[in-house]
């Protein structure tokens, strides 16, 4: 069975950067936006819509776009469920092919049979705001207060989705093997320690 690492994260905590650096250090595959793109290509839905699904509850109403064309607001519980099912299928297919790091998408639940190393990345609000504002593509001229509001909104959506499928609170230690606080830290310098932990984890799985 392949070595699978899943990373759940608070928005702005640097979980995506940590995952990518970890995959590079281990020499294994990295899946993030690739999952969204594959689902969008299969379904004909806009990537932005597909990406939103794992960050909100199915009880919400969504604007939906087909090939980036706005088509109105409607209840999408059935379609929503279909997209999540396809996403889960693609995640499993990717895990079948090689060792890999998966970012978000509730991959730790989807790939439970693989006994993945489940990592949760978090940080204090000041660090998350600073990290987001430092990324020009994410900042979009937000003030620090506006960015904080945006972070809370996104994390609330992630929490709703997580609690809906697991019954546990977002970031609950019971759901993860390793919790990493990146507050004020250089993520690149954390990688050797995380690699060492991953090696120990997978060695233990072989016994």
Q: So where are the chain's domains?
A: 4-187
**DSSP 8-state secondary structure symbol assigned to residue 107:** H
Write down the mean pLDDT value for the chain: 83
What does the pLDDT read at residue 176?
Answer: 96
Q: Would you call 65 helix, strand, or coil by DSSP?
A: strand
Q: Which helix (H) or strand (E) is 51 found in, with range? A: helix 47-53
Helix (H/G/I), strand (E/B), else coil: 66: strand
The strand pairing partners of 117, in sequence order, are 5
Model confidence at 121, in pLDDT bands (50, 70, 90)? very high
Which of 3.40.50.300, 3.40.50.10800, 3.90.79.10, 3.50.50.60 would CATH assign to domain 4-187?
Answer: 3.40.50.300
Categorize the per-residue pLDDT at 80 as very low, low, confident or very high, splitting at 50, 70 and 90: low
State the pLDDT at residue 6.
98
Question: How would residue 139 be classed by pLDDT, with cut points 50, 70 and 90?
Answer: low
The structure's pTM equals 0.83
pLDDT in tens, 86-102: 888 889 999 999 999 99
Residue 179 and residue 177: Cα distance in Å, rounded?
Answer: 7
DSSP 8-state class, residue 102:
E
């Amino acid at each position: 069975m392949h070595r699978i690492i899943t990373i759940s994260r608070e928005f702005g905590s640097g979980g995506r950067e940590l995952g990518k650096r970890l995959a590079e250090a281990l020499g294994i595959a990295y899946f993030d936006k690739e999952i969204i793109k594959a689902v969008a290509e299969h379904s004909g839905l806009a990537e932005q819509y597909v990406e939103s699904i794992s960050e909100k509850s199915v009880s919400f109403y969504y604007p939906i776009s087909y090939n980036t064309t706005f088509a109105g607001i409607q209840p999408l519980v059935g379609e929503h469920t279909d997209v999540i099912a396809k996403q889960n299928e693609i995640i499993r297919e990717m895990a079948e092919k090689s060792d890999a790091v998966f970012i978000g998408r509730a991959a730790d639940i989807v790939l439970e049979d693989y006994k993945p190393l489940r990592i949760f990345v978090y940080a204090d609000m000041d660090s998350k705001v600073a990290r987001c504002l430092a990324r020009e593509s994410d900042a979009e001229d937000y003030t620090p207060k506006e960015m904080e509001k945006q972070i809370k909104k996104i994390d609330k959506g992630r929490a709703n989705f997580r609690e809906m499928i697991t019954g546990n609170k977002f970031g609950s230690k019971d759901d993860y093997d390793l919790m990493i606080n990146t507050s004020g830290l250089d993520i690149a310098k954390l990688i050797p320690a995380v690699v060492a932990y991953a090696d120990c984890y997978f060695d233990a799985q072989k016994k």
